[in-house]
């Protein structure tokens, strides 16, 4: 493994200076150096510079700090398994340091067949504003060449025929989270896909390792992080697409006994603790990637361990999932599931992809109007969104946005709440989430492409006036019930009525009613004897518009 740090070089500055000046370096001519250790089977390596007997030791899959402004000349680097000493060096390389160059020495392969490559970059090389610099080094042992694409295989090829031990020149890419796709040379079928987080002005080297298409691994080395530390493996999967990831959003407005403090939650995925003390109106980081077909998400009160809700999420490749914990009208917790593509469309440079999700049970049929840009007079979206549902992503120009939210059935131009966004996002998938309870409505903007945790603005909320909501009432008795129950509701006017029954995962399991009904009090008998025990949600709709929502408990 190759490693150094500023302190290490400073302690040996005099020795290096003498040696390098003897080699003919001119005064003031300097270079920079860093090392990367990816030698398989060597958990720790000792690094020797110019045969100095005091090595530096660094673990596998790590990079050294950048040693800056070393005198121009020859630098000898030896790499030994820890404790083997100079005589046990498995790599021995002289690096000729020319002025104003940053050298990156990558040690890779295995302890039996170690290799080293030295990559160069001019210190003055920078990316234009809004862009990032990217190059790729092929440290795999697959006996084929790669074509590499950024964005999709419909894009122009980034580099063609990248052979083992080869590297590409730097190119500029847009500062965004973009897929990098590896295919066999001349083919379109992905060998591997990863999402790379390009940042404004960033300098990134992707290092590909592995012995076959099933075990490829892609690391990112950032030129903007000069300190020593582990490399970042990018998330992805070989062959059939990106592995899924999963995050959660806490939108269950549950108060404590004093009615003031909002409850925090602990999160478990497949029995493993993932998030501790997740506050109301927060979204966790993304977890994964997951190789399984399902993931069990469990919520418990902060520091209590008693389950209040769980949900089984069915996963699939090329998708990212979000579970939003919210509540039913009676206060019981429930969850809604969001799914977003894991890859970014080709027109993401000009567009954002936006939708609205309704996690507010007291707004069973929220009307939303989205304006992009925010000062536009005609909405790009004008629709109703049912509780525990969302509309499809729509493409809008990058820039400011405004979302107006109305009471169910309301057509007044005065919205209940206006949410907005500056639109300054490097990533592309955004979901406006309606949340709260019958005393407060909030609109939060969930960045689906963001891998880190989000905390939403607690000031973004308004009081909700239930007097202007739908007048339809909905209830069932008995509740709980063992096989049969009667659902009662009141119609303000005659119309075509539907009642859908949904399980706790939001899946429709039964259409209870689908017929014309007159105004006034109504009833419908429901037979649940063939359904498994558990909690169910039923939703009333009139003439295609969603109305009230109820909850029933079936016991056996």
pLDDT-above-70 percentage for the chain: 81
What pLDDT, on a 0 to 100 scale, did the predictor assign at position 19? 39
Residue spans of the domains in the chain: they are: 1-123, 125-241, 245-465, 474-554
| CA-based nearest residue to 409, from 492, 496, 468 | 468
Question: pLDDT of 143-191, one tens digit each?
Answer: 888 999 988 777 889 999 999 999 999 999 988 777 888 888 988 777 7
CA dist 60 and 258 (Å) reads: 52
- Cα 342 to Cα 70, 117, 454, 455, 467: the distances in Å are 43, 33, 18, 22, 42
User: Which has more pLDDT, 414 or 65?
Assistant: 65
Decide if 125-241 and 245-465 have a common fold. yes
Q: Are strands 62-63 and 30-40 parallel, antiparallel or unpaired?
A: antiparallel
Question: CATH for 245-465?
Answer: 2.60.40.10
Model confidence at 272: pLDDT above 50: yes
Model confidence at 1: pLDDT above 60: no
What pLDDT, on a 0 to 100 scale, did the predictor assign at position 548? 66
CA dist 158 and 134 (Å) reads: 10
What pLDDT, on a 0 to 100 scale, did the predictor assign at position 9? 34
Would you place residue 400 in the very low, low, confident or very high pLDDT band (cuts 50, 70, 90)?
confident
What pLDDT, on a 0 to 100 scale, did the predictor assign at position 136? 95
Which fold, 125-241? Immunoglobulin-like (2.60.40)
What is the average pLDDT score of the chain? 80
Would you place residue 227 in the very low, low, confident or very high pLDDT band (cuts 50, 70, 90)?
confident
CATH class of 474-554: mainly beta
What pLDDT, on a 0 to 100 scale, did the predictor assign at position 192? 80
Question: pLDDT of 337-350, one tens digit each?
Answer: 999 987 766 666 67
| CA-based nearest residue to 17, from 60, 94, 72 | 72
Question: pLDDT of 434-455, one tens digit each?
Answer: 998 767 788 888 988 777 888 8
pLDDT-above-90 percentage for the chain: 25
Question: pLDDT of 304-313, one tens digit each?
Answer: 878 889 999 9
Model confidence at 267: pLDDT above 90: yes
User: Which has more pLDDT, 355 or 344?
Assistant: 355
Beta partners for residue 389, in sequence order: 358
What pLDDT, on a 0 to 100 scale, did the predictor assign at position 46? 84
Model confidence at 336: pLDDT above 90: yes
CATH class of 1-123: mainly beta
Mean pLDDT score, 462-477: 59
- Cα 164 to Cα 206, 365, 367, 468: the distances in Å are 14, 57, 56, 68
CA dist 221 and 218 (Å) reads: 10
Query: For residue 202, which phi and psi values (nearest 5 degrees)?
Result: -75, 155
Task: Give the contacts of 188 (CB within 8 A, at least 6 positions apart).
Answer: 153
Question: pLDDT of 475-495, one tens digit each?
Answer: 788 888 889 999 988 776 777
* Cβ 221 vs Cβ 63: under 8 Å: yes
CA dist 370 and 359 (Å) reads: 18
Backbone dihedral region for residue 123 (phi beyond 0: left; psi -120 to 50: alpha; all else: beta): alpha
CA dist 522 and 430 (Å) reads: 41
Mean pLDDT score, 13-32: 48
CA dist 20 and 12 (Å) reads: 12
Question: pLDDT of 120-144, one tens digit each?
Answer: 999 888 899 889 999 999 999 888 8
């Amino acid at each position: 493994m190759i490693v150094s740090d500023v302190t290490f070089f400073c302690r040996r500055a005099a020795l290096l200076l003498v040696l390098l000046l003897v080699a003919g370096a001119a005064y003031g001519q300097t270079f920079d150096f860093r090392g990367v250790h990816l030698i398989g089977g060597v958990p720790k390596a000792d690094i020797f510079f110019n045969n100095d007997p005091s090595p530096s030791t660094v673990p596998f899959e790590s990079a050294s700090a950048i040693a800056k402004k070393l005198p121009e000349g020859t630098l000898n680097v030896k790499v030994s398994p820890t404790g083997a000493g100079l005589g046990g060096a498995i790599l021995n390389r002289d690096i000729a340091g020319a002025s104003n160059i940053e050298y990156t020495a990558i040690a890779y392969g295995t302890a039996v067949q170690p290799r080293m490559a030295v990559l160069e970059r001019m210190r003055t090389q920078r990316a234009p504003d809004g862009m990032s610099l990217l190059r790729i080094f092929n440290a795999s042992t697959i006996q084929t060449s790669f074509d590499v694409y950024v964005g999709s295989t419909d894009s122009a090829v980034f580099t063609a025929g990248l052979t083992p031990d080869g590297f590409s020149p730097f190119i500029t890419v847009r500062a965004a989270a973009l897929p990098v796709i590896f295919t066999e040379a001349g083919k379109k079928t992905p060998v591997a896909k990863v999402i790379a987080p390009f940042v404004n002005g960033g300098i990134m080297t992707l290092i590909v390792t592995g012995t076959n298409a099933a075990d490829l691994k892609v690391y990112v080395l950032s030129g903007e992080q000069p300190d020593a530390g582990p490399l970042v493996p990018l998330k992805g999967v070989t062959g059939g697409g990106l592995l899924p990831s999963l995050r959660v959003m806490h939108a269950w407005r549950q108060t404590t006994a004093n009615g003031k403090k909002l409850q925090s939650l602990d999160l478990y995925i497949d029995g493993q603790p993932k998030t501790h003390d997740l506050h109301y109106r927060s979204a966790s980081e993304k977890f994964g990637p997951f190789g399984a077909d399902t993931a069990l998400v469990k919520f418990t009160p902060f520091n209590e361990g008693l389950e209040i809700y769980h949900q089984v999420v069915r996963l699939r490749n090329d998708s990212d999932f979000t579970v939003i914990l919210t509540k039913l009208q009676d206060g019981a917790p429930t969850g809604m599931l969001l799914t977003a593509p894991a890859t970014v469309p080709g027109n993401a440079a000009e567009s954002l992809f936006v939708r609205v999700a309704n996690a507010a049970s007291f707004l069973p049929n929220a009307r939303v109007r989205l304006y992009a840009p925010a000062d536009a007079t005609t909405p790009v979206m004008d629709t109703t969104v049912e509780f525990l549902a969302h509309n499809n992503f729509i493409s809008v120009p990058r820039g400011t946005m405004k979302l107006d939210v109305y009471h169910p059935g309301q057509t007044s131009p005065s919205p209940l709440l206006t949410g907005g966004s500056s639109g300054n996002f490097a990533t592309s998938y955004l979901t406006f989430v309606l949340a709260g309870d019958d005393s407060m409505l909030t609109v939060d903007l969930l960045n689906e492409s963001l891998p880190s945790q989000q905390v939403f603005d607690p000031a973004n909320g308004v009081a909700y006036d239930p007097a202007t909501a739908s007048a339809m009432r909905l209830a069932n008795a008995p509740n709980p019930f063992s096989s049969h129950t009667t659902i009662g509701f009141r119609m303000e006017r005659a119309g075509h009525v539907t009642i859908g029954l949904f399980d706790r995962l939001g899946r429709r399991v039964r259409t209870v009613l689908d017929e014309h009904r007159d105004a006034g009090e109504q009833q419908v008998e429901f037979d649940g004897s063939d359904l498994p025990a558990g909690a169910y949600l039923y939703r009333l709709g009139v003439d295609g518009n969603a109305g009230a929502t109820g909850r029933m408990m079936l016991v056996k």
